[in-house]
Chain A
């Protein structure tokens, strides 16, 4: 009864309101993409002063509104939003982030700044701009997006290592990879055993943004490891409002795009008949019914490739525990198949991030725990890819004859006395399928940052960030029964039909623990002032990094008498242990000065010590300074509709490089002895000790960079924005592996501080936004970069051969050289001569100096790395529909088509020290030239093998559609993408994009089609 009465009264009370159609409306404003509640959004009834601001949870309430009124929502960093009131039910407003915001926070070393206050060459890439589609690792999010950042994967395997070069890299042999910092923790350069890609160790779905620091004034604060730029990864945070959940899943299908142009069975038969008729009897297999040969037509590439299916599921929850502690947790699972059989990769990852504040926001804590498990089945890539190229196409894959020993796989064999031995190329399909090599890695990355604002002096903050990066890796290689690789003989048995045996089971084992600890502690004093100097801050601190890698291996061999596998025991190092430790310690300071909001000045200094150098050479000092001039802050431009931002930056800085561990290990400066293994003993009864080479004079490589840049943003709605930077860089005391003057070191080549390089270049990136409304947005972006380096000094020598440029004619034959006066990593080649019909003449080269003979004096240099790189693309959205595509590529650069060297000569087909034939490139369709009988002498150094590596690759095309009301309070996005859609190039081989520019046994980059679902609720 009471209830009815109350209702009645309510209706009566409401009546006048309805009559005048004046009411209160409530609602909530959220981010369209992230669903985060947006506080401080201005909500105004259009044409009135009636308005309010959203609260902390994005909620608002406006009184005295009527049907037909228009509400205008504005917020910095978001596109203005208008909506007409059609009813008084709660409004759910979703705002779109504007593509560019000057207030965006950019994380830099030991602090953060905003886009408009940055003084260095710093780029920011946020989640919405990441590459889309089949993405397994973080580097794929970034490829082609940032000017001057060249990311070249080593191939198409799911764990392919990316080679990342910012501005081309400064060093010759020292590590040229940028420093990677995740949530403030600098990551180790050494991967856990079995992991190739360090960036696969973070779930791409957890990443909020990348900051890329390119010039020395911004990187110098990271000192010791920052010569090649810094990539700072910031992960997603919890929410301050209501709990939100995200579930996303995707499935993709990948295929090989381009195969190597080899002969098929009939063509190969014709080739052998025409060019090697005496070997015709080696084609195919013997007909068991007597008589001739059975010729198969096997495409061995098809035999090892497959259509790969990959999938991923990610779930994340963002909440605010007790209203005090924003918290995010995520779990992700990714299962990727490579396009080569058995090339499988699985990753399970989780992350927690807790960002509470205490003592009235005086103490801010940022705690992160990220964990993951990766399980990769490592295949013998070289064996499988090389095997598929070499294997005779007239041979079958399988052999169902009753006396087959190898699990049904065909294999060339030869009878030797009373043994049936393997002969020639091993069946690549059997190689793949008979081996398992799970490479399992557990990794934990945890850190806690305490940022404490002093109670008695709020201008002073103390920041401590402690972190640990721990991983455990385990590799176990096993073979199945009847596997070729474990085929052996019992020498006590003379019966050819029964004296063989297989050794299924474990063949190799490795366990490894990596324990890295980092600590940063610094004090920051920040003071806002009146007068000319608006603000200044000064900070100083200490950084400690320790990297420890400790592992053991179990190695086996076959007993020469019994044929049984047995453990190799090395008494001097029973566990085959390895132990590597690197310690880096630094002191750093920085001050920022803001003069009249127009001039920003940054000065920093860092002192670094590395354990790789002896005590006297250990410390390096790395200063930097930068100034920025914000032209748009002048009063006369304040109201300009043309210039939103115009800033000029100048910077200078010095950075250091010490990472030569890849070339000479972790103890390169002190004399040490190595114990010989059990198979490397000599005099009976004494252990064998080798004096290891070392160089006690090693010290820091130093790079000085000058940078000038402009940041601009013109016209309404950020129509055109971008930045332009030019730089000049000189590196001295280059750390490089050089030949030791004969006899003057303990081996023939070692690392030393040898020389100098100079490089210069520029980067331009622009964004053009012709349409930027609530419903329709269209954005084009493009970036391009040019960099050119030159070797200016190499101390005592004029030329050193370049690591990584080995061509497949034997170990230590390099085509690449670092030469004074030339670009680093240039090929040193002869000019091939061609006959009148355009065919290369075997072994004939131009006599450049005209002295009548052709020798090394007639070779010339051709740079292998490209000077120009670019990326471009567009994003289009109409209401709930999005379409985007991105492209990237390079202009110039060369690739050495080593496939022609391994398989492009006539005599390659006939056996060398076996009785089996090898397949070759298809001479008949021009994939190789008949004039190349062999590749002896100087033939491998011919420029015939070099080809232009320019290309444009369509990295992805992606579409998506948002269903906002399909499910209550939830948003569903359906997306589809194709990755590596196509490539435009003149290269005649498989893929011109090759970091070392030597195209051999390349794991092809697949083309992938992906369908994804993303649910926010």
Chain B
């Protein structure tokens, strides 16, 4: 019997000892960094791909998945850019009446509860720490092209910070240096964030590659972002930096490699990945890169079976949401007689010129600038779009160049500026194609930017830079929630800091104006 006891205890002890290691459970589907690097020689590029993708995709597991706790459909970065830059401005309105989006469309009743502000904020602060994480990984890993990859990551992080500066005006500055800090970090001012992004972009100016594989950052992309930072510097910091804006834009143009696409429509078509004008695209693919927040949102949103034929634009779903207002298409004069290609990109049949009721689909013209058909008109209708979003393109750089000069920047040539603007207008067969030097005014540039760049995620920033966004000096339909437009307060130049962020970090403060309304 004692033997039995001994055996019993032996078994017992053996079990306990052999089991203690079971507490270190091992995932079999997810990978550790070491496993990832061992499995895939391109692992680091795979993580980099993810960072670029953070501007277009909602999550790692298809369009229904989300990297953040917000709705995968409504929250993607690019959808946020379009919502916050174009629907808040004069060009585009949405008719769904969705809570939050409706307030953007009518530039009214903005507050910290509006989930659409949170979406962009959370996406910005998804990209930034993911970039920091890759920088930390790269400091311990040997990989070919390391310096270039590091500069690409820093470009991506700078781009995310750029939207923080532009949209929210302040926030926490978090880098690879303070990974793991658990106590809430202090709030940085708009100028501090500006200085950080400036120093980052200057630091990678020479290490970004001249050319890169499609969808990745180049020296030109870096200069474009720097140019955008400088051209808005007066808004961001109070100090104008048009000289530097001009210098970077000029460098970009002089570096070469990009030319205006002969066919304007080709820039916004499903095969625009072949375009030589796009400096930095956000990629979309109907099969492999699906998102409800990439150009799918723009294309499907501007279509409705009520008045249009979806398959003409390579779509299978019309969401019946977005229409432009006369503040945009009025800039081309009479649409019926205009020769401007850009004037033809509105669907007018069965639609009213005036947007008397923004919730009425037929009030206002849907924009058919973006489409999921190819440049030659051929199309395979798909529910997701394959059209890449031209976040940076040469025509934008041309107009920035011209604007800096008109604003008095030194270091460029006014005749070059005039040529650039006329190149854009010639490409579009615009009426009275050639403008003269005297016609190249700030007001003209703002309008030309609308004609050329609307719905490409720049409009609100442009209006603010030209002092036209808030106040009553410039009114557009449904500004301030009235049909003919009404003044809106100056604090609308920044969006409110979302409630979730304020609750998560007590060091953050609400933007002036929103805590009082």
Tell me whether A521 and B111 are in contact in the complex, defined as CB-CB below 8 angstroms, given that A682-B289, A741-B505 are known contacts. no
Main secondary structure of the interface of B (DSSP, over half): loop
Q: What's the minimum C-beta distance from A779 to chain B, rounded to whole angstroms?
A: 47
Question: Does A679 lie at the interface of the complex (its beta carbon under 8 Å from any beta carbon of B)?
Answer: yes
Interface of chain A residues 432 through 479 with chain B (CB within 8 A): 452, 454-456, 462, 464
CA distance in complex: A112, B118 (Å): 54
CA distance in complex: A550, B113 (Å): 40
Contact residues in A for B382 (Cβ distance below 8 Å): 560
Of A580-588, A640-648, A1004-1012, the one with at least 4 CB within 8 A of chain B: A580-588
Q: What's the minimum C-beta distance from B291 to chain A, rounded to whole angstroms?
A: 8
- Inter-subunit contact A573/B311 (CB<8 Å): no
Of B81-89, B239-247, B317-325, B442-450, the one with at least 4 CB within 8 A of chain A: B317-325
- Inter-subunit contact A670/B32 (CB<8 Å): yes
Which of A414, A582, A687, A853 has the most C-beta atoms of chain B within 10 angstroms of its own C-beta? A687
Which of B125, B499, B517 has the most C-beta atoms of chain A within 10 angstroms of its own C-beta? B125
Q: What's the minimum C-beta distance from A802 to chain B, rounded to whole angstroms?
A: 13
- Inter-subunit contact B19/A544 (CB<8 Å): yes
CA distance in complex: A653, B483 (Å): 66
Contact residues in A for B516 (Cβ distance below 8 Å): 853
Q: What's the minimum C-beta distance from A573 to chain B, rounded to whole angstroms?
A: 6
- Inter-subunit contact A684/B214 (CB<8 Å): yes
Question: Does A245 lie at the interface of the complex (its beta carbon under 8 Å from any beta carbon of B)?
Answer: no
Which of A678, A738, A744, A810 has the most C-beta atoms of chain B within 10 angstroms of its own C-beta? A744
Contact residues in A for B99 (Cβ distance below 8 Å): 809-810, 935-937, 939-940
- Inter-subunit contact A585/B71 (CB<8 Å): no
- Inter-subunit contact B15/A672 (CB<8 Å): no
Tell me whether A583 and B23 are in contact in the complex, defined as CB-CB below 8 angstroms, given that A419-B311, A681-B289, A913-B304 are known contacts. yes
| Cβ-defined partner of A672 (8 Å) among B31, B319, B517 | B31
| Cβ-defined partner of B115 (8 Å) among A689, A691, A813 | A813
Q: What's the minimum C-beta distance from A288 to chain B, rounded to whole angstroms?
A: 22
Of A138-146, A792-800, A988-996, the one with at least 4 CB within 8 A of chain B: A792-800
Question: Does A242 lie at the interface of the complex (its beta carbon under 8 Å from any beta carbon of B)?
Answer: no
- Inter-subunit contact A692/B30 (CB<8 Å): yes
- Inter-subunit contact B290/A680 (CB<8 Å): yes
CA distance in complex: A935, B213 (Å): 47
- Inter-subunit contact A913/B321 (CB<8 Å): yes
Question: Does B36 lie at the interface of the complex (its beta carbon under 8 Å from any beta carbon of A)?
Answer: yes
Interface of chain A residues 610 through 630 with chain B (CB within 8 A): 610-611, 615, 618
Tell me whether A672 and B311 are in contact in the complex, defined as CB-CB below 8 angstroms, given that A739-B501, A797-B503, A798-B503 are known contacts. no
Q: What's the minimum C-beta distance from B45 to chain A, rounded to whole angstroms?
A: 4
CA distance in complex: A800, B501 (Å): 11
CA distance in complex: A546, B69 (Å): 30
Write the chain B residue with the least CB distance to A416. B305
- Inter-subunit contact B96/A913 (CB<8 Å): yes
Which of A796, A938, A940 has the most C-beta atoms of chain B within 10 angstroms of its own C-beta? A796
Question: Does B112 lie at the interface of the complex (its beta carbon under 8 Å from any beta carbon of A)?
Answer: yes
CA distance in complex: A762, B504 (Å): 35
Tell me whether A583 and B125 are in contact in the complex, defined as CB-CB below 8 angstroms, given that A421-B305, A689-B47, A907-B97 are known contacts. no
Tell me whether A744 and B74 are in contact in the complex, defined as CB-CB below 8 angstroms, given that A560-B286, A801-B500 are known contacts. no
How many residues does chain B have at the interface if contact means C-beta atoms less than 8 Å apart?
A: 116
Question: Does B40 lie at the interface of the complex (its beta carbon under 8 Å from any beta carbon of A)?
Answer: yes
Write the chain A residue with the least CB distance to B505. A741
Question: Does A11 lie at the interface of the complex (its beta carbon under 8 Å from any beta carbon of B)?
Answer: no
Could you give, for residues 1-43 of chain B, a 1 whenever the CB lies within 8 Å of some chain A CB and a 0 otherwise? 1100100100010011001101111111111110010001011
| Cβ-defined partner of B499 (8 Å) among A560, A796, A856 | A856
Q: What's the minimum C-beta distance from B62 to chain A, rounded to whole angstroms?
A: 4
- Inter-subunit contact A686/B71 (CB<8 Å): no
CA distance in complex: A812, B231 (Å): 36
Of A85-93, A210-218, A746-754, the one with at least 4 CB within 8 A of chain B: A746-754
| Cβ-defined partner of B27 (8 Å) among A666, A798, A939 | A666
| Cβ-defined partner of A581 (8 Å) among B25, B40, B53 | B25
- Inter-subunit contact B60/A417 (CB<8 Å): no
Interface of chain B residues 65 through 98 with chain A (CB within 8 A): 65, 67-72, 74, 96-98
- Inter-subunit contact A611/B23 (CB<8 Å): yes
- Inter-subunit contact B128/A560 (CB<8 Å): no
Question: Does A578 lie at the interface of the complex (its beta carbon under 8 Å from any beta carbon of B)?
Answer: yes
Write the chain B residue with the least CB distance to A843. B109
- Inter-subunit contact B501/A578 (CB<8 Å): no
Question: Does B465 lie at the interface of the complex (its beta carbon under 8 Å from any beta carbon of A)?
Answer: no
- Inter-subunit contact A417/B287 (CB<8 Å): no
Tell me whether A679 and B289 are in contact in the complex, defined as CB-CB below 8 angstroms, given that A577-B29, A686-B49, A742-B171 are known contacts. yes
Tell me whether A742 and B29 are in contact in the complex, defined as CB-CB below 8 angstroms, given that A560-B287, A810-B115, A812-B115 are known contacts. no
Question: Does B174 lie at the interface of the complex (its beta carbon under 8 Å from any beta carbon of A)?
Answer: yes
Question: Does A519 lie at the interface of the complex (its beta carbon under 8 Å from any beta carbon of B)?
Answer: yes
Q: What's the minimum C-beta distance from B307 to chain A, rounded to whole angstroms?
A: 11
Question: Does A966 lie at the interface of the complex (its beta carbon under 8 Å from any beta carbon of B)?
Answer: no
Tell me whether A744 and B27 are in contact in the complex, defined as CB-CB below 8 angstroms, given that A670-B32, A676-B60 are known contacts. no
| Cβ-defined partner of A747 (8 Å) among B65, B126, B499 | B126
- Inter-subunit contact A683/B213 (CB<8 Å): yes
- Inter-subunit contact B309/A416 (CB<8 Å): yes
| Cβ-defined partner of A683 (8 Å) among B31, B174, B216 | B216
- Inter-subunit contact B25/A582 (CB<8 Å): yes
Q: What's the minimum C-beta distance from B236 to chain A, rounded to whole angstroms?
A: 19
Tell me whether A739 and B30 are in contact in the complex, defined as CB-CB below 8 angstroms, given that A414-B305, A618-B23, A677-B60 are known contacts. no
17 new A-B contacts at CB < 8 Å, known A682-B52, A682-B56, A744-B505: A462-B5, A585-B23, A675-B29, A679-B63, A680-B61, A685-B213, A686-B46, A686-B49, A689-B49, A739-B503, A744-B182, A746-B130, A810-B100, A812-B115, A856-B499, A913-B319, A939-B99
26 example contacts (A-B, Cβ-Cβ < 8 A) are as follows: A416-B311, A421-B305, A452-B8, A456-B2, A542-B16, A560-B382, A577-B29, A672-B30, A673-B30, A676-B61, A680-B57, A683-B283, A685-B42, A687-B46, A688-B50, A691-B47, A741-B172, A742-B171, A744-B129, A812-B69, A853-B517, A913-B319, A915-B306, A936-B102, A936-B103, A941-B113
Q: Which 5 interchain pairs have the tightest Cβ spacing?
A: A811-B71, A682-B53, A743-B174, A739-B504, A417-B309
